Structure 1
C-alpha cells in the first residue's frame, strides 16, 4: 500500500511539474481573473491526470495499442487549441488595454470557475503526452504479481493529489502575479508574453 502511495505521488508530480503550455496558460488565466477561477482550472488539469492514471492502471496495454494510430491527430488538435487560446489571450489583452486607454469600452466578463475547470480538463485530455506518460509508467513498473484494486485506487488518488497540489500552487502564483501587475501596461505585457510562450510550446508539440 505504501509503495502504491509513493508511486502515485511521484507519478503525479512527474507529469505536473514540467512547465509547459498548459501550466503557462493556467498561471496567465489566474492572473487575469481570480484565485477561485485559477483553482478550479487547476483541478481540471489534475482531474485529467487522475483520469488518465486510472485508465492506464486498468488497461494500460490495450490503451497503448488503441491510441497509437491517433496520437498524431491528438497532438495536432492539442497544439491548435493551445494556439487558439494564445491568440485569443493576446487579442483580449490588447482590446482591454486600448479600451481602458480610450475609456470607451468595458472588459469582457471573465470565465466562470466551472467553465475554467471544463476548459483545462479538455485541454489536458487532448494532450497525448499525459496518457503516454502514465501508460509507459504503469507498464514499466508492472510485475508478474496481480495488482489489487485497492492499490490501484491508492495510486490513482495519490497521482491526482500530487497533480492537484502542484497545479494549485501554480494558480496561487498566478494570483500573486495578478495582484502585483495592477497597472494597465503591466497586464498587457504579461498577457502578450504568456501568449507568445504558449504559442511557442504549442508549435513545439507538433515536432
Structure 2
C-alpha cells in the first residue's frame, strides 16, 4: 500500500471514528447546546473544543498504547479482529437501544448552570466532563487495537488518524454550539436525539463490518 493511500485510509478511519463517538446528542451535547443558547457563541465554541480535545486525547492515548502492544498482537490477529468488532457492535447496539428507550420515555437530560462562565472555564469544564466518560476510551481502544492487529501503520498514519478524529469531533461539537440558539430544541428534543444516536450507531456498525472485511 502506497504512503498516499495509507494516509487516506487513516484519514477516513479517523473521521469515521470521530463522528461515531461525537454524534450522539446525550447529556454533554444537550448541555453544550443549552450553554450556548443562554450565553454566547464564543463560550459555546470553547466548550465544544473542550469536548473535542477529550476525544482527541483518548484517540492519541489509544494509538500510543496500540503501538506499544503491536508486536504482541501479531500472533492473535484473527481473535483480535473478532473481539474488536464485537465491542463495536455492542457499543452500537447499546447506543441504539438507549436512544430508543429514551425516546419512548420522552426523557430529556437537563443541566442548569446559571453562573456566568468564561471561555476558559467552559473549555476546561467540558473537557473534564468528557474525559470522565469511559465509553470514549473503550470506543477508541477497540478501533486502534483492531488497526494495530491488521496492517502496520507508521507514525504519520497515526498522526493523521488522531488529527482526523479530533477534527471530526470538533466539527460536530461546533455545529451543536453554533446551532444552540436556532436549532437547540430540534437537536436535543426526543426525536432529534433519537435520530443522531441511530446515525451514530449505524456508523459504528459500519466500522465493525469494515473491520471484519479486512484481510487477516
TM-score w.r.t. the length of structure 1 is 0.63
Q: Deviation at 1:146?
A: 3.0
1:109-146 deviations in Å (ceiling 9; x for gaps): x2011100000000000000110000011112333543
- 1:84-123 to structure 2, matched below 5 A, reads 86=110, 88-89=112-113, 92=114, 108=115, 110-123=116-129
What CA deviation, in whole Å up to 9, does each residue of 1:67-101 have, x standing for no partner?
xxxxxxxxxxxxxxxxxx95644xx4xxxxxxxxx
The answer (yes or no) to whether the contact 1:12–1:158 under 8 Å persists in 2 is yes
Show the counterpart of 2:54: 48
| Pair 26,151 (structure 1): closer, same or farther in 2 beyond 3 Å | same
Please report the RMSD computed on the Cα atoms of aligned residues, expressed in angstroms: 2.7
Give the distance between the partners of 2:111 and 2:8, measured in 1 at CA. 45
TM-score (norm 2): 0.60
1:60 CA displacement: 3.7
Q: Deviations over 1:54-74 (max 9, x none)?
A: 0001104989xxxxxxxxxxx
The unaligned stretches of length 5 or more in structure 1 are 64-84, 93-107, 181-192, 198-207
| Partner SS state of residue 133, structure 1 | helix
Counterpart for residue 128 of structure 1: 134
The unaligned stretches of length 5 or more in structure 2 are: 1-6, 70-108, 194-216
Q: Which runs of at least 4 in structure 1 moved beyond 4 Å after TM superposition?
A: 85-88
Work out the CA distance in 2 between the residues paired with 1:6 and 1:43. 21
Number of residue-to-residue matches in the alignment: 143
